[in-house]
Structure formats: structure tokens, C-alpha cells
Chains A and B, each alone.
Chain A
């Protein structure tokens, strides 16, 4: 009986294992296709490097943890040499799903978009963009005008090789546009990521984890922060709101708004399976306005 059960399990597992292996191979093939060994006069030098989820630390040390907060799968690194002996390093991160490619791009974004991929920036010789489930970066150690031009052209070629766009996380679309600092919108899942951008507490006051989609945005004037967290259901959202209120703003009444010690306002509310928290608002009206507009956007999408 036990033997039969064992063999049934083995037979059941075979297609799953084969599918997983094929998936992994397909992912690697995709990465190589999007970073080919030769393209328009550019040719790779040295061996390509590949780092999986556990191996990323070997390439970027502890910074790899930032990527592991998302659905990061694989990194392919290739070094190219082209016209005029310009050398470019290309790093292609497979983030598993488009929303997480957007998330890692949003993590450290500082400057306005340069129109590449689905979102991009170019600063101090480092060009990065996200497209579909990929986050791609290019740089040259010898940074000058020539390398900047070459990087821009090279990145555009790689952009064109990645065929389809992916979806921006839906929750980002709920942010009110007025006053939004576009380069300070961060998308993530876990409280460790929240604390990278806005330290709320040592503990996970909002019960954030890999099942939550979270966007933290900054609004001008006044650097007001809006945190919007989407939970798997209304019950988990309610639990999170209760925990946040009891731990962070225990004096809040049913309105969920409190003026705290620095004179700023904190407001927390719930709509459907979303928890909304406004932080650092100079007055209650601005906090309410931001929350109400966000609720309108959420409600409109549900209808």
C-alpha cells in the first residue's frame, strides 16, 4: 500500500518537475535572447555571469536582499565591447512578474523618465529601465559623453528586443495625480521594504507580507506621504488597520485621524480590501482630501 502511494506520488510529480525545469531553461533562454552575444557591432567579452535567487549576493553582496523582497528569479550579466573600444556592462534582472520589475525600478528612482522601456532613468552614466518582467541596467566604468551616448543607443536596442509590455501594478493607478511626486512612488510588498523608505516601527504594524501590494507616494507641497496597502481580503485589511491604529495612533477616534507630537497629522482608513494611511500631513484637510480622492479612485475601478 505504501509502495503504491510512493509510486503514485512519483508519477504525479514527474510532469511538475519537468515543467519547472523547462520553465527555468526557458527563462534563461529568454534572458540570453534579450542580451544576445552579438548585436549591431557590439560583442560580448568574457563569460556571461548568471545569478539565481540565492546567488545574487555573490554579485552585489547584501544589496541583493533588495531584489529578494520581490519575486526576483535570475540575473544575467554580460560585458560588451563596441565601436571605439567602448565597454558596456549590461545587467538583466528577471523579476518574475511585471509588477515586481516595476517595483524594483521604483525602489531607487530619483530622476525623470527618459522614455525607454516602460519607465527609465539615466544618471551619472547608469541607465536603467523596466519592461515586462525585466529590470535592465547599463553602465560603463569609464564614464564620459561618448560612453553616455553609446549606452543610450545600446539600451534602446535591448529595449526593442523585449517584445511586450507588462502591467503596472493596479494599486499605483489609485494614487491621486495632483501633487504627486512622480519619482517618489515606491511599490513593494513587505514591511522590510516599507522601512527602507519610511521607517514606521521595528514591528510589522500593517501586517505586510508577500501577499500584500503596497504603494508609498510622496505629495508636494509639504512632503505628505500616502501609504496604500492592498490585502487579499477585507478581513485581513481590517485586522491590519486595527493593529496599526492600536500601535501607532491609539488615541485616534473612529475618524482615524490624529495630530501627533511634531504637529503633523496621521490618518488611517479602510475601503474594501485597502488600508490607506496618510503621514506627515500639515493639516487635517489635506489628509482627508488625499484619502477621499484615493477612495474615489478605488471605488471607480470597482464599478
Chain B
């Protein structure tokens, strides 16, 4: 057994971080450890009016949610100033989206981001939105800044499809990162053409998927109107918050603890093995804005 190997018993004993138990399929029971000196900030913004009865997204409300989240993230009152802290007019911006048929990044969200980037002063020709073609996209190749935006879902092979996993299209052979249930997706973020470029990670949780069935791992029954977005600069912290919400929803819906299969251990490894962010919930400062009913966290 390798030196750094962690077993299920390590989580049960608490010698591995108790807050990460969900990443190996154990119930999440946070220990009340000492407050860490530094916490990674993540903002959860929700609004009960963002979706109409037929599921359409209200553009004004989603804009407001995103503005408030970005402003809160950097401690600004003025959203315009806040966006300026993440993007500058000289930047070439790649907005890494997700086109999965059943639950794509909503075009309304993509458009809000694009508008805000243009408001900062970035010319339209220096902005691209892409997913599957991102690796070969001319604008992405020149990009100085990336904004990572995708919906949250459970995933057949990675446990969850979140911000960390969304960069898998930045390599020519994604399957090279599939080993041990995508354990090392965090390594993607250290590739030279990616490293240090991501300014914002936005997990779209308007209608997240908390369970899936069949070859496509999808069932409408397991979508729910959470009406939220999770925003941060740290993709691991953002995914960790998203994962906790999904686990809480599964507990609520199934009436019993049903571990995610597979467990989303890539979130933990992105932190402990690859050092690209913070997965430990105890080290994350979560700020919740707006609608609080059913926040599940």
C-alpha cells in the first residue's frame, strides 16, 4: 500500500478529515475542530424568482444574483468595481461552458457573464464561449483569463460533474484522466495552458441533478429547483460546497443516507494530492445570499 493511501477506516477514525467523509461515501458529520486561520470564501446566491413556472430563467434576476455573488466574493458593494477585480479590459477571455444535452450551462448565464466582461471593457472579439471545442478555440488558445461556468450534477464515473471536472476538455485525450473514478482531475488545473488563468468558478445550481439512472445518468425526477449559484475563485471549494448540497438533497429525498456512487473523491484529491484548492468544509467561508428556504447547507 502506498504511503499516502487513505482507507475507509481513516475516515471513520477521523484521522483523515471528517469533513471530507462524503467524498468516500460516508455520511457527512462535521467535527467542531478549531477555526482555521484562513478560510476560502465561497458565495451561494439564491432567488426564488429566478425560474418561472415553466422553468425559464429570468435574465434580470440571474444577472442580479451573479452581480451580488461576485461583489460579495471580493468584498465590494459595487458590482461594476467587483467585476473589474476579476477581469481587465486587456484580457482575452475564455468562458468555459458545458454543453451536456440534458443539463447544459444555460445560455442566459453565459450571456450575463459575457455582458459583464464586455462592461469591464473587453472587446467582444476577445471573448469566446466554448466547451467541447475549447482546446482548439483560437480565442481560448490566446486567453489570459478563464471563467469556468457549468451546472452541477451527479456523474456516473466522477461522482459529481462540477467546476474541477469542467476542464477535462482542455486535454486532447480526456480518458487519460479517467483512472480510479477520475481521482486526478485536479492535475488538469496545473497544465501550463490552464494554470493561473481562472478568475471565477461558477457552479450553476438552478436545477441541479442529485441522482442519475441509465447509460446517460439522467432522470428528470432527480432535478430540483434549487435556484442558486455558487461562486468562488477556488474550484475545489466551490465543488465542495456543491457536493455537500447534493448529499443533503439525497438524504432529504431518499429518506436515508445513500452514498454517491462513485464517491466524488476527485474533489478531495484536488486538494490533498494536487493542491489546487480547499476541499475541507471547515476551511471554507460560505456566505449565503438571498432566498434561504431549503438551502440545505
> Which of A63, A143, A203, A261 has a CB less than 8 Å from the CB of B12?
A261
Asked if A66 and B213 make an inter-chain contact with CB atoms under 8 angstroms apart, the answer reads no
Bound Cα distance A197, B262 (Å): 6
Most central of A57, A62, A128, A200 by chain B CB within 10 Å: A62
Please state if B215 and A91 are interface contacts (CB–CB under 8 Å).
Answer: yes
Partner of B183, one of A57, A202, A262: A202
The CA of A91 and the CA of B156, in the complex, are separated in Å by: 17
Which DSSP category, helix, strand, loop or mixed, fits chain A's interface? mixed
Asked if A196 meets B219 with Cβ closer than 8 Å, knowing A57-B174, A62-B168, the reply is no
Bound Cα distance A124, B8 (Å): 33
**Chain A 111-130 interface residues, beta-carbon cutoff 8 Å to B:** 123-124, 126, 128
Contact B219 A126, beta carbon cutoff 8 Å: yes
Report how many residues on chain B are interfacial, defined by Cβ distance under 8 Å. 40
Alpha-carbon gap, A200 to B7, bound state (A):
6
Residues of B within 8 A of A124 (CB): 213, 219-221
Interface string of A79-123 (1 = CB under 8 A from B): 000000000000101000000000000001010000000000001
| B12–A66 CB distance below 8 A | no
- B5 contacts A196, CB within 8 Å? no
Interface size on A, residues (CB 8 A): 37
* Neighbouring A residues of B5 by C-beta, 8 Å: 201-203, 247
Nearest A-chain residue to B256, judged by Cβ? A223
Is B181 in contact with chain A by the CB < 8 A criterion? yes
Beta-carbon nearest neighbor of B214 in chain A: A126
Shortest Cβ gap from B184 to chain A (Å)? 11
Which residues of B sit under 8 angstroms from A248, Cβ to Cβ? 7-9
Q: CB of A139 within 8 A of chain B?
A: yes
Q: How far is the CA of A143 from the CA of B219 in the complex (A)?
A: 11
Contact of B1 among A110, A196, A247 (CB under 8 A): A247
A66 to B157, CA, bound (A): 7
Check if B180 is an interface residue, CB within 8 A of chain A: yes
Complex partner residue of A195 from B215, B217, B263, CB under 8 angstroms: B263
Determine whether A192 belongs to the interface, using a CB cutoff of 8 Å to chain B: yes
**Interface hits, B205-255 → A, CB 8 Å:** 213-217, 219-221
A65 contacts the other chain (CB 8 A): yes
Instruction: Tell me, in angstroms, the Cα distance from A64 to B168 when the chains sit together.
Output: 15
Interface set, chain A 22-66, CB cutoff 8 A to B: 57, 60-66
- Return chain B residues, CB-CB under 8 Å to A7: none
B166-224 with Cβ < 8 A to chain A: 168, 174-175, 178-183, 213-217, 219-221
The one of B26, B168, B183, B214 in contact with A139, judged by C-beta atoms closer than 8 angstroms, is B214
Evaluate contact between A198 and B9: CB separation under 8 angstroms.
Answer: no
Which among B9, B175, B214, B259 has the greatest number of chain A C-beta atoms within 10 A?
B214
Q: List residues of chain B with CB within 8 A of the CB of A247.
A: 1, 5, 7
Is A63 a contact of B9 with CB atoms below 8 Å?
Answer: no
**Per-position 1/0 for A173-212, Cβ under 8 A of B:** 0000000000000000000100111111111010000000
5 examples of A-B residue contacts, CB within 8 angstroms: A62-B157, A139-B214, A199-B24, A202-B5, A248-B7
